[in-house]
A and B are shown apart, each in its own frame.
Chain A
Amino acid sequence: MSRTSLFVPLGVFLLIVGVGYAGFKLNDPHELPSALLGKPFPEFAAPLLADSGTVVDRTALLGEPVLVNVWATWCPTCKAEHEQLLRIRESAGLRMVGVNYKDDPAKARSWLRQLGDPYEFVVQDADGSLGVELGVYGAPESFLLDARGTIVYKRVGDINPRIWRDELAPALARLNGVAAGGKNE
C-alpha cells in the first residue's frame, strides 16, 4: 500500500463533510422553485369577498404593479404577516389584492374589519382551485405582478420586514424603474 493511498479515507471523510455542509446550507426543502415566475397570472373568475354576487377576472389586476396575497383566517402566519402588509400599503403605496384561500367568507370579512384591510379587493377561492392554478400549496403566498399581469416575484411564506427590504422592495423598484425608463423613451 503506497503512502498516498493512506490519505484516501481522509479524502472520503472530507467529501462527506462537504456534501453534508452544502446540503444543510441549501434552502428550506419546503421552498419549491417558482414555476410561474415570468409567466402571466392565470385566467380566473372569482367572486369578491365583499360581495359574492360580483365576479372579477384577470383584467382587474392589470394597469399597475400589484401584490396578490393568498391568505386565510386559519393560517397563523397570515396574521403575523398582515401587520406588515398594512405597513407596506401605508408606506410604499403598493397596490394589493387578496385571495381568500379555502376559508369561510364571514370569518374573513370580520378578520379584515378587526385587523384592517390593506387590499383593494379580495376574491374568494373557496375550493382552492385558483390556488391550484397559482401553484399554491400553503398560505401565505404572494405574487408581485407587473402592470401587464406578468408574475415577476413570488414569495412562499410570510412577507416580513427582512423579505420586504431584501426581496420585495427591490423587485418593486425594478418594476417602477422599468416603467419610468419606458416613459422617458
Chain B
Amino acid sequence: MCATGAHASRPRTAAWLLVTLRAILPMTLLTSFLCVAGATFTTVAWAAGPVDVYRFATPEEEARYRALIDEFRCPKCLNTNLSGSDAPIAKDLRRTVHRLLTQEGLTDQQIRDYLRDRYGDFVLYDPPFRPGTWLLWLAPPVFVIIGALVVWRLLRQPAAEPLSEQEIARLQSILEDQ
C-alpha cells in the first residue's frame, strides 16, 4: 500500500534518509567489494604481463626496478605503464631503466630525470605544476570545494522535527508491508 491517503504528511527528512540508507547500503558494500576485487584482479593480470629476464645484484635493486617501471607511462600506449605494456618501446625503456639502475648506478630521481629529458612529462604520471598543467592540478580541489559548499548548504537547513509516535507506527507498518 502506498501512503498517499488523507493522513499522508510531508515526507520527513530523517525517515526518508533512513529508508534510503537501508536501500543503498547493501549496494554500496557490494560495489566496494567488486571494486577491490577488480583492482586486485587487474594488478594480478598486469603482474603476469610481459616478462623480461633481467639479473639484479640485490633484491633491493629489483624492487627499485619494479617500482620504477610501474611508475613510468609507456609513451606509445597512452594509458599503460611500462611494466604493463608489451609494446616494443616499453621493452626498450624497461631495458634502459635496468641498465641505468644496475650498470650506471643512477638514483631513482636521476632515472626519472633521464626519461623526462627524452620523453617529456608524458612518461611521468605525476606532471609538474606549470602554466600548461594548472587546470589539471587545480580542478580536483575546486570540485572538492564546490562539493563541500553543497554539503554545507544542505546541512545548514533546519533539522527536521522528530517523528511523532503515530508517524513512527506508520513507518513501521510500511516497512513491515514490504
Hey, which chain A residues are within 8 Å of B86, CB to CB?
none
- Interface: B111 (CB within 8 A): no
How would you classify the secondary structure of chain A's contact residues: helix, strand, loop or mixed? loop
A162–B94 alpha-carbon span in the complex (Å): 36
Do A131 and B116 have beta carbons less than 8 Å apart? Answer: no
- Interface: A36 (CB within 8 A): yes
Do B121 and A33 have beta carbons less than 8 Å apart? Answer: yes
Name the one of B88, B96, B117, B119 contacting A32, with C-beta atoms under 8 angstroms.
B119
12 more A-B residue pairs beyond the given contacts A36-B118, A102-B88, with a C-beta to C-beta distance below 8 A? A30-B76, A32-B75, A32-B120, A35-B116, A39-B117, A132-B96, A132-B118, A133-B118, A135-B119, A135-B120, A137-B75, A138-B89
Do B120 and A129 have beta carbons less than 8 Å apart? Answer: no
A24–B121 alpha-carbon span in the complex (Å): 21
- Interface: A128 (CB within 8 A): yes
- Interface: A134 (CB within 8 A): yes
| Contacts of B114-156 to chain A: CB distance below 8 A | 116-122
Nearest residue (CB) in A for B79 is A29
Query: Count the B residues whose beta carbon is within 8 Å of the partner chain — how many?
Result: 15
- Interface: A160 (CB within 8 A): no
Name the one of A35, A128, A136 contacting B120, with C-beta atoms under 8 angstroms.
A35
| Contacts of B62-103 to chain A: CB distance below 8 A | 75-76, 78, 88-89, 92-93, 96
Q: Could you write out 6 A-B pairs with CB less than 8 Å apart? A: A30-B76, A35-B118, A102-B88, A129-B92, A131-B92, A135-B75
Hey, which chain A residues are within 8 Å of B120, CB to CB?
32-35, 135
Hey, which chain A residues are within 8 Å of B118, CB to CB?
35-36, 132-135
Do B116 and A30 have beta carbons less than 8 Å apart? Answer: no
A138–B119 alpha-carbon span in the complex (Å): 12
Do B76 and A137 have beta carbons less than 8 Å apart? Answer: yes
Do A132 and B93 have beta carbons less than 8 Å apart? Answer: yes
Q: Nearest Cβ in chain B — how far from A38, in angstroms?
A: 12
Residue-wise interface mask of B (1-18) relative to A, using a CB-CB cutoff of 8 A (1 in contact, 0 not): 000000000000000000
Name the one of A33, A127, A138 contacting B76, with C-beta atoms under 8 angstroms.
A138
A137–B119 alpha-carbon span in the complex (Å): 9
Nearest residue (CB) in B for A35 is B120
Name the one of A29, A35, A39, A129 contacting B119, with C-beta atoms under 8 angstroms.
A35
Hey, which chain B residues are within 8 Å of A34, CB to CB?
120
Q: Nearest Cβ in chain B — how far from A32, in angstroms?
A: 5
Do B89 and A137 have beta carbons less than 8 Å apart? Answer: yes
Q: Nearest Cβ in chain A — how far from B105, in angstroms?
A: 18
A33–B123 alpha-carbon span in the complex (Å): 11
Q: Which of B88, B89, B118 has the most CB of A within 10 A?
A: B118
Hey, which chain A residues are within 8 Å of B119, CB to CB?
32, 35, 135, 137
Q: Nearest Cβ in chain B — how far from A100, in angstroms?
A: 15
A142–B173 alpha-carbon span in the complex (Å): 76
Q: Nearest Cβ in chain A — how far from B173, in angstroms?
A: 34
A30–B121 alpha-carbon span in the complex (Å): 14
Nearest residue (CB) in B for A131 is B92
Q: Nearest Cβ in chain B — how far from A184, in angstroms?
A: 36
